[in-house]
Structure 1
Amino acid sequence: MKIVIIGGTGLIGSKVVAILSGKGHAVIAASPKGGVNAVTGEGLEDALAGADVVVDVANSPSWADDDVMAFFTGSSRNLLAAESQAGVKHHVALSIVNAERMPNSGYMRAKVAQENIIKDGRIPYTIVRATQFMEFMAGIGQGSVVEGAIRLSPALIQPIASDDVAAAVAEAAIAAPLNGTVEVAGPEQFRLDLIVGRALAAIGETRAIVTDPKALYFGTELDDTSLVPASNSKVRLGKLRYDDWQRQ
């Protein structure tokens, strides 16, 4: 199959490209640096010519509320229109577990809007919803500094390694469209403040960590259901445990 990966040079995209190329598929890693811009539409017609599947794992360069909404809605509309013209048979998109349950976050609102555009479109689709990546645990802490201290919620989180996310996205790309959603998560649950504390310690962060149930996570308060799948019986669990990932 010819498979076009939008955001194909990023963290997840580059891994998906490697997996699918290794399986013998004709894969194009599409990105603005390579002249393919889903937001403006530049290069889409040529990149999608003859494509069977389009995988969208692109991320907004700005997380300001208006910017991120414009990015995900604009790029999705442009992609679906170009896919319709090219005769693409399957649209795969990466999204976030429980995005609709965090409406105070502009980023989550934008991901929900993206999902709705895909669902309302004419292209058969699969949406892969993932929990937060293990790779971002330290960054979450560094972005949660208030008055010199790192303030973190003790809510449950079930982080997943990017390798496992990429494997799930690649699997979806070569399977039949679900016209629905699949969820993926890591194999373990942690308290957010504790797992982020471990990640920060590993990089030598010395600022104090304050556990605060009211601490915001991308603009929204959390509870124990916010960052974990509703039911592990219906979710695909990644293989890589946090300790093993950290040793890697």
Structure 2
Amino acid sequence: MVAEIRASTVLPARREDIELHTADGLTLVGEIALPEDRPPAATLVCLHPLPTHGGMMDSHVLRKASYRLPALADLAVLRFNTRGTTSDRGTSEGSFGHGEDERFDVAAALEYAEFHDLPRPWLVGWSFGTELALKWGRDPLVEGAILLSPPLHRATDADLDAWAEFGRPLVALVPEHDDYLRPDEARTRFARVPQVEVVGVEGAKHLWVGEPYVRIVLDEIVKRVNPAAGPLPTEV
């Protein structure tokens, strides 16, 4: 029987609650979702939106990535709550660090990926999560980063210059109607990173509400991380 993939669709995967341990002594809660019956081709390390404005590991695009991409694209999807953040999975220890102390959280997620032999980690940051990726994601393990709705608020030109020197791929998906940074300005700001690709998404807003926009985001992720699996099907 063929069924359309809908906003609430959860496809088969091996899902496990995990804990991350930071260098400054905190325990963070998270989940890893893996392809059901084969090893992953690559890994998404997800960095969620601003927790003081409701961002968490279950923010909808990241949750839908974990629901779909292990089955559809052979990807491992690692999601976690940064310090002081709460979701259905629980609350991570510590308190919001304004994007600075979260450097330890990003490092803990990458250490988890390395220790568990999760292949080819890519950072997927959304809004506040893009700032964490740009500031703290320049780790030799990281193959590249995909930024959803980057505000370039906490991340500075110095961070962009450092990513340019880092040399790894950088993809920015920028909504046409974003509240903070729109495509033309994003192209100007990111121009200092030679290897960047800025993708303007017509009709989209900062929160990527609506199944058509979620599909665009997931397709763009897969196109970079495991292109052999794209474009993603709309039915299963």
Larger Cα Rg: Structure 1 or Structure 2?
Answer: 1
**TM-score normalised per structure 2:** 0.42
Q: Which has the higher helix share?
A: 1
